[in-house]
Amino acid sequence: MRFTRALSAAVVLLGLAAAPAAADSSPSASPSQDGDAPTTAGTSFRTATEFEQGQVATANGAAGDYLYWSFPADAGQRPTVKATVKLPETHAAQTWRVDVYDGLRRRQACQWGAQARTADAGTSSVELACVLRTVRAWTEPWANDPLPGTYYVRLTAVNVPTSDLGVPVSTEVRVDSKDIGGAAAVDGSLAEPLVPGIAVTSGADQGDEDEKGAVLSAIEPEDGWSSGWWSDRWVWSGIGAVLAALAGIGGYALTRGSGRPSRVPPGV
C-alpha cells in the first residue's frame, strides 16, 4: 500500500512539472495568423491579393502603381478599410487615394473617413480610411447597395509629379467590420454571394480538377456565408409578440370587473 501511494504521488508530481513545459511549447494562434497575412499586392482586379478581415496586408510598391487587394464581407457587416502609406524621406507633395469596389466591380461610396489625403513634401506617412455602408443580404437590381461577396481595395497616388514617379513606398491595409445585426436585415437574400468564380462552382454538378481550378476566389467569412433569412430581428420580434400578449391579458384582467351582475334586486 505504501509503495502504491508513493508511486501515485510521483506520477502526479511528474504531471504537474510537465504541464507548464507543455503549455509553454504550445503554439499560439496570433503568430500563425500574422504569418499568413499577404506581403504583396495585385496590379488589377483579376490579380488582387486575397486577405481576411483582421489581417494586416503589406506590400512594397512605387508611386504611380495601382495596388489591389480583396476581402470577403457578409450581410449585416459594416466594413472599415484603413490604409497606411510610408513614404521616403525625400519626395514632393503626393495625393493618395483608397477606393473600394464590390463583387460587381461597382465603386462603393464611403460613409465617412479620409478617403484621399495629400502628403506634403517631407511627410513620412499618410493614413487613409473608408467606412462603407452596411452590406445588405438583398437589394433591387437598379440599386447600388453593397451586397455579400468579395470586395476589392485599390490604393494609388493621383496627380503624382513626374519627379516622383517610381519612388518606392511601403503600404499596409487592414479591414475590420462592425456587426450591425437585425437593424440592417431585409426580407430576401442572394442565391449566391458575389464571389469571382461562384458561377463555375454552382453550375457544375460533377466538377473535375479543371473546373475547380477555374474558381478565382477561395476566401469567405470564418463562419461561412450567411443564408440571409436569420437575424436577431426574429428574436426581438418574438419578444415583442410575447410582451404584447401579456399586455393584452393584463388589460383584460383589469377591465373585466368582478363578473356578471347579480339578478336579485338589492334589498330582497
Q: Which residues contact 258 (CB under 8 A, 6 or more apart)?
A: none
How many C-beta atoms lie closer than 10 Å to residue 137's C-beta? 22
Beta strands 94-101 and 66-73 are unpaired
Look-up of cell digits 454571394: 193
Quick one: which H or E segment has residue 9?
A: helix 2-25
Position 28 scores a pLDDT of 30
Position 153 scores a pLDDT of 97
Position 1 scores a pLDDT of 42
Q: Which residues contact 195 (CB under 8 A, 6 or more apart)?
A: 72, 103, 149, 150, 217, 219, 220
Q: What whole-number distance in Å separates Cα of residue 197 and Cα of residue 215?
A: 4
Position 173 scores a pLDDT of 97
Check: CB of residue 190 under 8 Å from CB of residue 228: yes
Q: Find, among 208, 157, 151, the residue nearest to 175 by Cα.
A: 151
Position 203 scores a pLDDT of 54
Q: How far is CA 210 from CA 47, 199, 205, in A?
A: 19, 14, 14
Tell me which residues of the chain have a pLDDT lower than 70. 1-35, 181-188, 198-218, 223, 227-234, 236, 257-268
Q: How far is CA 8 from CA 14, 32, 39, 264, in A?
A: 10, 39, 53, 88
Cell of 128: 487613409
Grouping H, G, I as helix, E, B as strand and the rest as coil, residue 115 is coil
Q: What whole-number distance in Å separates Cα of residue 175 and Cα of residue 78?
A: 10
Position 234 scores a pLDDT of 66
Q: What whole-number distance in Å separates Cα of residue 92 and Cα of residue 166?
A: 12
Q: What whole-number distance in Å separates Cα of residue 143 and Cα of residue 124?
A: 40
Position 15 scores a pLDDT of 43
Q: What whole-number distance in Å separates Cα of residue 172 and Cα of residue 106?
A: 23
Check: CB of residue 138 under 8 Å from CB of residue 228: yes
